[in-house]
């Protein structure tokens, strides 16, 4: 038995969709905004359909090596990456960018379609806090580069 799980977070960024999209789809930027991402082995550029890259990632209790594959890329609107974590099963990360008054609404969705067990309330609270920090960092970094 598995427990599908999904979390979605969004923020409005005062920048064009292509500026947001190119920043978030370049894994080399991830350690700048995502606290659990520490180092990426890849070219310093946005990843496109079929690209692969390696991430050194950590949780509170363990270090994890993740091999990613970009399974969808419709620049500057939609990007989906897929990886496999030994303790969580497949992880699907989706980025959506849509034009809104004042800039771009960036939506980050994280799915675990076959999670072995449901996350605890504490785990969900930590995920939500990391997402809040990450989205604020993206907003700050992209807006600073767009001015």
55 forms bridges with which residues in the sheet?
40, 66
Q: What does the pLDDT look like over 69-83, one tens digit per residue?
A: 999 999 999 999 999
All domains of the chain in start order, with CATH: 5-146 (3.30.530.20)
Structure tokens at 116: 């072995």
14-55: pLDDT as tens digits: 999 999 999 999 999 999 999 888 899 999 999 999 999 999
Residue-by-residue DSSP string for the chain: ----EEEEEEEEESS-HHHHHHHHT-GGGHHHH-TTEEEEES-SS---TT-EEEEEEE-SS-EEEEEEEEEEEETTTEEEEEEEETTTEEEEEEEEEEEETTEEEEEEEEEETT-SSPPPHHHHHHHHHHHHHHHHHHHHHHHHHH-
- What are 72-121's pLDDT values in tens digits? 999 999 999 999 988 889 999 999 999 999 899 999 999 999 999 999 99
Per-residue model confidence (pLDDT) at position 88: 84
pTM of the predicted model as reported, rounded to 2 decimal places: 0.94
Per-residue pLDDT averaged across 129-144, rounded?
97
| pLDDT value of residue 62 | 76
């Amino acid at each position: 038995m598995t427990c599908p799980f999904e979390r979605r977070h969004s923020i409005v960024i005062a920048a064009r969709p292509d500026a947001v999209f190119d920043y978030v789809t370049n894994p080399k930027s991830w350690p700048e905004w995502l606290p659990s991402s520490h180092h990426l082995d890849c070219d310093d550029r946005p990843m496109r359909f079929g690209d692969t890259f390696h991430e050194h990632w950590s949780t509170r209790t363990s270090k994890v090596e993740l091999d990613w594959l970009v399974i969808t890329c419709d620049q500057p609107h939609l990007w989906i990456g897929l990886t496999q974590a030994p303790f969580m099963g497949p992880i699907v990360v989706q980025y959506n960018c849509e034009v809104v008054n004042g800039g771009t609404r960036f939506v980050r969705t994280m799915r675990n379609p076959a999670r072995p067990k449901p996350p605890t309330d504490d785990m969900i609270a930590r995920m939500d806090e990391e997402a809040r920090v990450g989205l604020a960092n993206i907003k700050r970094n992209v807006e600073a580069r767009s001015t």
